[in-house]
Amino acid sequence: MIEFLQMLYDYVNYLGAVALFIIGLHTVVTHSNLIKRIMGINIMGTAVFYFFIAIGNVTGGLPPILTDTPGEYINPLPSVLILTGIVVVVSITVYSLSLVIRIYETYGTIDQDEIAKINERENADD
């Protein structure tokens, strides 16, 4: 039991990232509110980035900026990939937010289910 808990403690970063990923995915899939779904995408994104950072981590390591301090540096590559990733997710967020504004202006709601209802009603009228 202690060993298992110790193992969980060792893997806390990976497990946390996985949990956040699942929570984000759940938010995207189940919620009908569009802004909530965008938040879900953001949570998923940070979870993946967190996973990357956890891969690059070295216990007791130094930040990857060369100094005279003795010690091992952490793996710099994941951080670089993440810097790119963060900006990408922000761009997607901004784009979807602008879509939300337009959807609100044309439909008067930002709820996926209500939008589907409105669409159905209009198609029935044709």
Site for other proteins in 54-73 (CB under 8 A): 54-67, 72-73
Least distance to other proteins, CB of residue 60, Å: 8
Determine, following the binding rule CB under 8 A, whether residue 35 of this chain makes contact with other proteins: yes
Determine, following the binding rule CB under 8 A, whether residue 121 of this chain makes contact with other proteins: no
Least distance to other proteins, CB of residue 74, Å: 5
The answer to whether 41 touches 89, Cβ cutoff 8 Å, is: yes
| Tokens 């298992």 -> residue | 4
For other proteins, give the closer residue by CB, 2 or 64: 64
The answer to whether 73 touches 61, Cβ cutoff 8 Å, is: yes
Q: Which residues neighbour 88 within 8 Å (Cβ) at sequence distance 6 or greater?
A: none
Taking CB under 8 A as the rule, which mask of x and - marks residues 73-92 in contact with other proteins?
xxxxxxxxxxxxxxxxxxxx
Residues between 15 and 34 with contacts to other proteins, criterion CB under 8 A: 15-16, 18-34
Q: How far apart are alpha carbons 32 and 36 in whole angstroms?
A: 8
Rounded to 5 degrees, φ, ψ at 62 are: -105, 150
Determine, following the binding rule CB under 8 A, whether residue 94 of this chain makes contact with other proteins: yes
DSSP state, 68? S
Among 5, 114, 120, 121, binds other proteins (CB under 8 A): 114
Residues forming beta bridges with residue 62, ordered by sequence position: 73
Determine, following the binding rule CB under 8 A, whether residue 11 of this chain makes contact with other proteins: yes
